[in-house]
Amino acid sequence: MLTTNNEFGIHQGQRVALYTLENTNGMQVKITNYGATITSISVLHSDGKRKELACGFDTLDGYFGEDYKANAPYFGCTVGRFASRIKDGKFNIDGQEYTLAVNNGSNHLHGGLVGFDKKIWQAASNENGSVSMSLTSPHMEEGYPGEVHIKVTFKLTDDNEIVIQYEATTDRTTPLSLTNHTYFNLSGFEQSIENHITQIDAAEFLQPDEDNVPVGEVAKVDGTATDLRENKRLGDCFEQMETGFEHYYTFDKAADELAKVATFKDSESGRTLEVSTTEPGALFYTGYFTSDKLQRENGDQYGRYRAFCFETSRYPNGPNLEDQGGAITQAGETYQSTTIFKIQ
């Protein structure tokens, strides 16, 4: 396993690093400590050329472009303190109401105005070739109680597995839900994702309200385009959906069990992505609202249906749900989570 560390740019007077992990198959994963962000996932094609499979940019400046900031797609970043939306930016713990920063209409989204995706993390290479990134979130940051210490470790194996492990502790009971927000296109951006064949082990999803926030209702997938328990072509599903997928699926597995929960395959190249996780569910988003103005410096075109996210996490709006899905971490408890993206 080869790990290299180069300068990616300067932000607010601080050096931003870019780590490159490379395995014996020539697969590369690039991660910057700005937002603990995966900027690139690439594999060697049969013609010897490198194929990029993830949305991102080759320069730090790309993440500060006006079109990117206006669209806010969160390409590849580590999301926290809490992934997805919290209704009206409010929750109650032990009889005390907390009010969060709101940045998505009336709701709190992906950690607020300055979430973990906009922080410079402390990064270090490990002896096993992995890279760990650490961050401390102070008490009442963005409105959240508790000082939280977070570590995210990225490892690339010779089986083409990107292993992401999360660990966090808090001195006060607080909502906590961490995820990685990488967008994938298994065709190498030669086509949209409409020819991706998708299978997700989930019979239910959390039904959102008019603000796209789950408030307690659970929907069955039976007989609808959302039923992905058997392989389906995404383009066929899109024909029955107004804006594609933005659904939080709950997995058919035991809590905290590390299990394979989804498989995606590009029909043209035959390239596949398998996802395994300990999390109770994932937000599957197919990029309907991603701006067509965005592209990588090499010309890889992003935009509507050009890439998908599979954000493994605790339940969106979990602090306000009767079944919280592990959304609250108790003082002194250790938050732990593992997700593996395997590309073949």
Active site members: 181, 311
Burial category of 8 from C-beta neighbours within 10 Å (exposed 0-12, middle 13-18, buried 19 and up): buried
- Sign of the Cα pseudo-torsion (61, 192, 263, 216, in order): positive
Smallest Cα–Cα separation from 311: which of 175, 109, 134? 109
Q: Are 176 and 80 in contact (CB under 8 A)?
A: yes
What distance, in Å, lies between the first and last C-alpha atoms of the chain? 18
Rounded CA-CA distance 266/185 in Å is: 8
Which tokens belong to 331?
């003082």
Nearest alpha-carbon partner for 326 in 274, 271, 273, 251: 251
Q: Which residue has the tokens 């107004």?
A: 242
Q: How many CB atoms lie within 10 A of CB 211?
A: 14
CA distance 19 to 156: 12
What single string gives the DSSP state of each residue in 191-213? S-GGGEEEEE--SEEEEE-TTS-
Structure tokens at 237: 């599903």
